[in-house]
Amino acid sequence: MNIQHKSRRPAFTMLELMVVIAIIAFLMSLTVGAMFSFIAGAREAATATTIAKVNKLLQERVDGLRQMDFTDAAQRFKDSTNNGSVELSEVIVRKFRMKRAFPQNLVEALGNDPQRYSSLAVLSSPPASFIPKYESGIVLYALLTSGETFGAASVGDDTFTASEVRNSPETAGLPCLVDAWGEPLRFYRWPTRLFKPGGAVGVGTTTLPLARTFATPLVLTAGKIYGADGLPGANGVGGQGAYGSDDIPNCGSDGAPGIVGTDDDGNGTIDDITELGWPGSDDYEPLNYDADDPYMLLISALTTSNAVLQFEQGSTTGTPNLLLALHTPFTYAPMLVVSAGSDRQLGLLEPSDFSTDCGYLACPTITLNGPALTLQFLTDNITNLNQSSSGK
C-alpha cells in the first residue's frame, strides 16, 4: 500500500518575524506621525480662521472710529488743559476714545465703561478656579459682543462657534475666545513695545522699546527690509542702515537715501525730529509711523525720555496709572490678536500686566539670559498680522 506524505510548509524563522514586525512598526510610525501632523495643521488653520474673524470685526470698528470728527472735543480738551494746539489735542482725544472703545483688560473695561461691561465685575473677586491668563480673551469677547460698533455690524453669540469660545470654571463662567488648543486669545490694542525697532528715535533711551527681532515672528512684514543678502542685518556688522544692522534704509520722497547733516526734505532744518527716521537719515522707518498721528505731533511735544515714559505710563509721579497710559509715541501700533500656538507658550507679558515692563504694550518676556528662549516661544505663535504665512 502506498502511503502519500504531505509536504509540510516550513515555519517562519525568527529573523523573518522580526523583519515583518519592524516593517509594521515603521508603517505605524509613519501613520501616527502623519496623523499628528494633520491634527496640528488643522488646529493652526482653525486658529487662523478665528483670528481672521476677530481681526475683521475689530478693523471695521477702528475704521468707523477714525471717521469720527473730534474737533469740538479737541477744542474743549485744549481749553481745559490750556496746553498745546487743537491739532495735538485732537490726537490725544482720539487716542483716549480708542482706549475706551477697545479695552484689553479688566481695569480698562470697568474703569472706562463700567455699565457696558458690568458682567465682567465678577473678575474683580474671581472664584478660586479662575485662571488669570483667560482675562484678555474674556474681555475681548465682551468687547466684540457688547462694545461700541461705530456703525459696523453688531456681533451676537452665534458669531463664534462652540470650539472658539470657552465657558468654564477656569474662565469664571464667562465666555472667553480661545484658539484650537483651548488657550485664550490675547488682544493688544497698541503693541508698541513689540514693533518699535531698536531704540527710541529723537528722544528716549535704548531701554524703552525693544528690537525689531521680536516682532518678526509675529508680523509678516516686520523684518522684510533686508540688505543685498536678503537676510536681516546683524548688529555690529556693516554699520549702515537699520539700527545697527547692515541693511540699507528705505529711500525718502526724493528716491535717494537720506544723508546725515543734510536738509533732505527741504523744510529748512537738518535731521529734525519730524525728519529723523533711520540713524543718519531723514527717511522714515516704516515701524515709526503712527496712523493716528501722521504729523508726529506727539513726538514733537514730548521732548525728553521722561516725558515719553510719562505718556506711556500715564503718570508724572512715577506711579503708573493704567487709565491714563497710552503708548510709545512715534511708533507703528496696529492691533494684535495672538494665539500662543502649539507649544502654548505666549512669549509675551499678559495684556493685563501693567508694570514697569509695560506688558500691556506687548513686551516680550525677556529675562537676563532668555532672548533666544523668548524667540523660540514666539516662532509658532499665530496672529492677525502673520496669517498669510499660515502662522509661521
Q: What is the pLDDT of residue 364?
A: 86
The residue ranking higher by pLDDT, 371 or 224, is 371
Q: What is the pLDDT of residue 246?
A: 43
pLDDT digits over 51-97, tens only?
999 999 999 999 999 999 999 999 998 888 877 789 999 999 999 99
The residue ranking higher by pLDDT, 255 or 337, is 337
Bridge-based pairing state of the strands 176-177 and 186-188: unpaired
Domain count within the chain: 1
Q: Does residue 161 register a pLDDT over 60?
A: yes
Residue 183 lies in a domain: yes
Q: Of 387, 385, 17, which is closest to residue 194 (Cα–Cα)?
A: 385
pLDDT digits over 184-228, tens only?
999 999 998 887 644 443 333 334 345 567 787 888 766 444 444
Q: What is the pLDDT of residue 206?
A: 37
- Contact criterion met (CB below 8 Å) for 381 and 338: yes
Q: Which structural domain, as residue segments, surrounds residue 112?
A: 39-195+213-222+334-389
Q: What is the pLDDT of residue 156?
A: 84
Q: Does residue 163 register a pLDDT over 70?
A: yes
How many angstroms separate the CA atoms of 168 and 58, rounded? 25
Residue 59 lies in a domain: yes
How many angstroms separate the CA atoms of 385 and 48, rounded? 10
How many angstroms separate the CA atoms of 277 and 274, rounded? 8
SS3 state at 21 = helix
Q: What is the DSSP letter of 248?
A: P
Q: What is the pLDDT of residue 299?
A: 75
Residue 77 lies in a domain: yes
Return all residues near 188 (Cβ < 8 A) that are at least 6 apart. Answer: 104, 194, 335, 336, 338, 348, 351, 360, 361, 362
Residue found under cell 539670559: 369
Q: What is the pLDDT of residue 369?
A: 67
**Whole-model pTM over 0.85:** no
Position 145 confidence tier, pLDDT thresholds 50, 70, 90: very high
Residue 17 lies in a domain: no
Q: What is the pLDDT of residue 267?
A: 67
Q: Of 141, 161, 145, 133, which is closest to residue 46 (Cα–Cα)?
A: 161
- Contact criterion met (CB below 8 Å) for 57 and 150: no
Show the beta-strand stretches assigned E in the chain.
Answer: 165-166, 176-177, 186-188, 336-339, 382-383
Residue 139 lies in a domain: yes
Q: Of 72, 77, 116, 82, which is closest to residue 96 (Cα–Cα)?
A: 77
Residue 200 lies in a domain: no
Average pLDDT of the residues in 162-176: 96
Residue 266 lies in a domain: no
Return all residues near 79 (Cβ < 8 A) that are at least 6 apart. Answer: none
Residue found under cell 535717494: 256
Residue 320 lies in a domain: no
pLDDT digits over 287-341, tens only?
777 888 877 788 778 767 677 778 888 888 877 888 889 988 877 888 999 999 9
